Amino acid sequence: MDQHIRVLIVDDHTLFRESLSRLLEADMDCEIRGTCASVEEALKVIARETIDLVLLDYDLGFEQGLQFLPESRSRGFVGQVLMVTGGMSEAFMLRALDQGASGVFLKSSPLAELIQAIRRVFQGEMWIDSGLVKGLVASSRQRSVETSQGMLSARERSVLRCVFEGLSNKEIGQQLSISEGSVKAALQQLFARTGVRTRSQLVRIAVERHSNDWLNET
């Protein structure tokens, strides 16, 4: 990449923090600006350092990492947050997305995928581990869901499914054989339909309220 990604790692396991720091600095253009074990420490780091991306664990032992999301935004933090966790419940995953996280990455996944996730999130895209996406949609389809926004067009549904797969606008266009401009237009229609402004919020709305119709193939 043309510029270093300034990263803060928040995890309560010292060995994990130190190991991940070394791996990221060795394998990609990351500049580790800080590592810490608590929300309080993380808030102090973002107050004194310019941070592009926070890798945030959900379970910090004595507290939930989710507390960082509203606290950091209230203090003017505008960087991206990628949850890096051993696991999260569906409810907490949706809550994280709603509060501004740009994705969820499982610690059991390989380093190469984490590097890909970091680059996507840094570029303003989102990332949800493929296993988690399947679980979200399957669980959501078992619930009785009230659809109030109407059916989507075939193109909008196709674009939405690609968003779930973590594809960029360019990749969505290539997969669907449409222009990048058409992808952007479809996303703007989806944002307008749901009243959201980000991909992560769109995913939450789609899963919580509309998976029975919006995520079907036809």
- For 186, other C-beta atoms within 10 Å of its C-beta total 24
Task: Judge whether residue 141 has pLDDT over 60.
Answer: no
Average pLDDT over residues 158-176: 85
Nearest in space to 96 (alpha carbons), one of 119, 129, 142: 129
Q: Using an 8 Å Cβ cutoff, are 156 and 189 in contact? A: yes
pLDDT at 61: 84
Q: Using an 8 Å Cβ cutoff, are 84 and 107 in contact? A: yes
State the Cα–Cα distance between residues 141 and 145, nearest whole angstrom. Answer: 8
Question: Between vectors from CA 214 to CA 126 and to CA 132, what angle results, nearest 5°?
Answer: 45
Helix (H, G, I), strand (E, B) or coil at 53: strand
What CATH number does the domain located at 5-128 have?
A: 3.40.50.2300
Domain with CATH 1.10.10.10 in the chain: 136-214
Task: Judge whether residue 2 has pLDDT over 70.
Answer: no
Mean of all residue pLDDT scores within the chain: 82
User: How do strand 103-106 and strand 80-85 relate by DSSP bridges?
Assistant: parallel
| No. of helices (H) and no. of strands (E), the chain | 11, 6
- Condensed to tens digits (0 to 9), the pLDDT of residues 28-71 reads 788 999 999 999 999 999 999 999 999 999 999 888 999 999 99
Q: Which residues contact 114 (CB under 8 A, 6 or more apart)?
A: 84, 105
Domain with CATH 3.40.50.2300 in the chain: 5-128
pLDDT at 138: 53
Task: Judge whether residue 143 has pLDDT over 60.
Answer: no
Q: Which residue has the tokens 């709603």?
A: 98
- For domain 136-214, give its CATH number from 1.10.10.10, 1.10.1530.10, 1.10.3720.10, 2.115.10.20: 1.10.10.10
Task: Judge whether residue 145 has pLDDT over 50.
Answer: no
Give the DSSP per-residue string, 154-189: HHHHHHHHHHHTT--HHHHHHHHT--HHHHHHHHHH
pLDDT at 210: 57
Distances (CA, A) of 201 to 28, 45, 147, 164, 189: 28, 26, 17, 12, 14
- Condensed to tens digits (0 to 9), the pLDDT of residues 169-180 reads 888 989 898 988
State the Cα–Cα distance between residues 107 and 83, nearest whole angstrom. Answer: 10
- Name the amino acid, one letter, at 121: V
- Condensed to tens digits (0 to 9), the pLDDT of residues 85-103 reads 888 777 788 888 888 898 8
Q: Using an 8 Å Cβ cutoff, are 104 and 85 in contact? A: yes
